[in-house]
Structure 1
Amino acid sequence: MYDHISWLRGELSRSVFGGAWHGPSLLEALAEIGPHDASAVAIPGAHSIRDIALHAVAWMEEVQRRLTGAEPGMPTRGDWPEGTTATAEEWNAVRELVAHTATALDADLSVFPAARLSDYVGQGAMHDAPLGTGVTYIVMLNGVVQHNVYHAGQIVLMARALRR
């Protein structure tokens, strides 16, 4: 029998820590960025790299909450952080938080019953794509991986724009 939990854990790990075939993971994309560039807005009206990293953290935390039985909602820390500049210490803390959050999500995923992957998240939640409700656990977990990959790509492009 195919082990979906192991597959999802591998996908999550590759999206955050590295080894993906598509390109850099979240942490690989963040590795060479300093606090000044992390706080800069490369494109008018866009979020900073710091904001994107904290947004990814917020949604990994929300998925973890749902895995442990909580009803779907917006992330506890909010969808997007309030924009501020980051000192070197604060920026290092953000990168550490990305790793810590992914590790905590992986720990809960490692004990999640594979038989529940086809269950719907939440009690009768209607489909709401931005909120990620009305989907099965396997779709939600695949979605958080896709979310990480999407934002890693954004970070790479923003870093290139800042270097120009």
Structure 2
Amino acid sequence: MHEIEITRMLDQLRRAFDGEAWSGPSLMDTLAHINAEQAAARPIPQAHSIWEIVLHVTAWVRTVERRIAQNEKIDLPASENWPPVPNPADDAAWQLTLEHLQEAHRELTGTVAGLYDNDLNRQFASDWDRPQGPSYYVLIHGVVQHNLYHVGQISLLKKAFT
């Protein structure tokens, strides 16, 4: 049986990550041609760097994947929510950061591809202020929205280099 909604959600994940997002450039298109120096720069002193944003996005893509795969609430400690930029912050470390982002995306899409449409209403047990966490449907759409929100931030930071 062809799972229509899962197929649509995988399309939205792909479009936001490396496809033709409705809102503009995808995450990977936005990150293209950024080097380590630019990624680590702070053109707005109080704002996160592009590199920090990519580490943050990767952490949340992995968290959503784990929440779905393990069907449980998984929180990120502050140190993992906004991980520090590696030292040294060189081109090799930047490329590794981008590879980790791509790997996290592949793992998430693989997990989502293994779902059925009727799984999308599932909610995992939660110790949040409500008995159930968000549904898989909300988590998956949420990661798409989260990625595109940060695409906007990265786009603004990139303007400092042009």
TM-score (norm 2): 0.88
What's the C-alpha RMSD, in Å, of the aligned pairs?
2.1
Within 5 Å, which residues of 2 pair with 1:11-160?
Answer: 11-75=12-76, 78-84=80-86, 86-123=89-126, 125-126=128-129, 134-160=133-159
Give 1:125 deviation, angstroms: 4.2
Q: How many residues align?
A: 158
* SS of structure 2 residue aligned to 1:134: strand
152 and 4 in structure 1: CA distance in 2 versus 1, 3 angstrom threshold:
same
Structure 1, 51-60 or 2-11: larger mean CA deviation: 2-11
Moved over 3 A (4+): 123-127
Instruction: Specify the code of the residue in structure 2 equivalent to 1:113.
Output: Y
Give 5+ residue unaligned stretches, structure 1.
128-132
Any idea what the Cα deviations from partners look like across 1:108-160, whole Å, max 9, x if unmatched? 11012321211223346435xxxxx7311101110000000000111011010
- Matched-pair contact (CA < 8 Å) for 2:62–2:104: yes
C-alpha distance in structure 2 between counterparts of 1:38 and 1:149, whole Å:
18
* Whole-Å separation in 2 of the counterparts to 1:135 and 1:56: 19
Whether the aligned pair in 1 keeps the contact of 2:55 and 2:82 (CA below 8 Å) is: yes
**How far 1:21 sits from its partner (Å)?**
2.0
Residue type matched to 1:50 in 2?
A: W
